Chain A
């Protein structure tokens, strides 16, 4: 579905000198530097999958999306989506994809939402039956009925984003590009949008390429991830593998009676106890889960046991702190 090979994008940035003297100097002499936004990036995305693009601010996520939708031209390398070069593919390509920018709207702001939806029907040359089917579905799942007669400029941010996400599904896109779709939204709207996107991905097979700083978005919507840092790809794989690669500790919580000395079996672990609840935090590089479970079952008469899953927040903070990267 997406195939990027050695993709790079370099911007020319006008450097402004500081101070009044510098400002005057800028009038007569412009200084330009090249800023690498994306560097030698190669990755693939399978049809119908949901891929997260993780990266700090300025990592090149938005630039990457804009190259994939054909707005920007790569400086070097090649990108193909559905086997076509987005920049040259034209309207037939745009009819197969959908794009949502979290900080911008695709709705026509001066007219009611329903009019924007009707315009989509014309622009995408949609069959009435398909349009109606998609329309009914998004209106129901995103609870859009009360918003349809309101001009987009009068909607709150959350309402507008729901309307935007609804609109992007009207033409049955095969692939959706979402650039921080839940930015600035409250928890309820975020939940509605995530649930909807996940459902559409699973039921209709719409591929999703998502950039977000909200790690819950990534966790709930995506299965795979790529991580960018300074425009370079530093991880490409499943979200699960990413979590395991960057999580240094795991925790097992045991409820039960102690029958042996767990510390002697797992000397590098940290153990705390509160009543009958034991928390064992162990370094994953030192002990495998099987070893820990064997030790725990030998030392406790277990009534209940919980294995703590690593949190994506922890993963990302470790990535950006530069831990565990080659």
Chain B
């Protein structure tokens, strides 16, 4: 564990040393949150304040605030660090350190999302302090179930990013892979539109993917909304998907080590 925490600390230090970049990365996504709020506010205005897809305006505002906090836990640079290293061949340095590849990756990502997590928590608290009367306030009793769901959701998301990043061993187009991953996540996780608003068939498709369990499920648990498959099943599916991605990690990493051509030889 010392290795894990040391690498996590290095990741945090790396972010803190560059002040401008740090603040830009932390705060600029707030513009996205503002945009989401304005969009949904306009839609509810058009509906004369009536519920959309069964979600009241108060519920929706709380949802977009928490969805923002969850989806923005990792920035673009952090998510794509491993892909870039693979593309440039810098990944070789990672391979010769006496620590498991996955341990190094998870430690770095934990460091990357630690600071952003604190800031996002502050944004959520500030949001409720200022605009709480316009939003559904989560119940304290939902917190234990939410925390477990959140931990599993974050682990699942990290493993999903890891597996997509490893695919970069087999192609030079790492941006294509990153954009595909980001598009799938943003759409199916409920980061852009709550999954409960999807048409029935699309909702069914979404349930068979890992993405809703990375964001929609924990937010729904916290706000007491529809979790699509029931809470025990959510935990089960999160665990199963984590195990699937762990298996894929081993498979793809093993294949890469057998067939890999690292830049430069």
Give A residues with C-beta under 8 Å from B. 11-13, 37, 60-63, 65-66, 69-73, 87, 91-92, 94-95, 97, 99, 101, 103-106, 108, 110-111, 115, 119, 122-124, 151, 179
Contacts and interface: CB of A to CB of B under 8 A. Distances in A.
A99 B99 contact: no
Top 3 A-B residue pairs of the complex, sorted by shortest distance between their CB atoms? A62-B265, A110-B14, A91-B98
Nearest to B6: A122
Given A94-B96, A95-B98, A71 B262 contact: yes
A124 B98 contact: yes
9 contacts: A11-B259, A12-B259, A62-B264, A95-B98, A103-B89, A111-B17, A119-B6, A119-B7, A119-B10
B95 A71 contact: yes
Given A11-B261, A66-B262, A106 B93 contact: yes
Among the interface residues B15, B88, B93, B257, which one has the most CB atoms of the partner chain A within 10 A? B93
Interface residues of B, number: 29
Among the interface residues A65, A91, A95, A105, which one has the most CB atoms of the partner chain B within 10 A? A91
Interface string B1-45: 011001100100111011000000000000000000000000000
A101 B85 CA distance: 14
Given A104-B92, A151-B17, A123 B261 contact: no
Contacts of A92: 98
B133 interface: no
Contacts of A106: 93, 96-97
A111 B259 CA distance: 32
A122 B262 CA distance: 27
A103 B264 contact: yes
A110 B10 CA distance: 9
Interface of A is mostly: mixed
Contacts, number: 83
A95 B97 CA distance: 8
A61 B14 contact: no
Contacts of A12: 259
B170 to A, nearest CB: 10
Contacts of A63: 265
B257 A101 contact: no
A124 B96 CA distance: 12
Contacts of B92: 66, 71, 101, 104
Given A69-B96, A71-B96, A72-B262, 9 more contacts: A11-B261, A62-B265, A71-B95, A71-B260, A72-B257, A91-B98, A94-B96, A108-B10, A110-B18
A73 B257 contact: yes
Contact of B93 (A60, A91, A101, A110): A101
Contacts of B99: 91, 123
B258 to A, nearest CB: 5
Contact of A94 (B13, B14, B97): B97
Contacts of A87: 257
Interface in B79-104: 88-90, 92-93, 95-100
A61 B265 CA distance: 8
Contacts of A99: 96
A201 to B, nearest CB: 20
A73 B95 CA distance: 13
A16 to B, nearest CB: 11
B106 to A, nearest CB: 15
A92 B98 CA distance: 7
Contacts of A111: 10, 13-14, 17
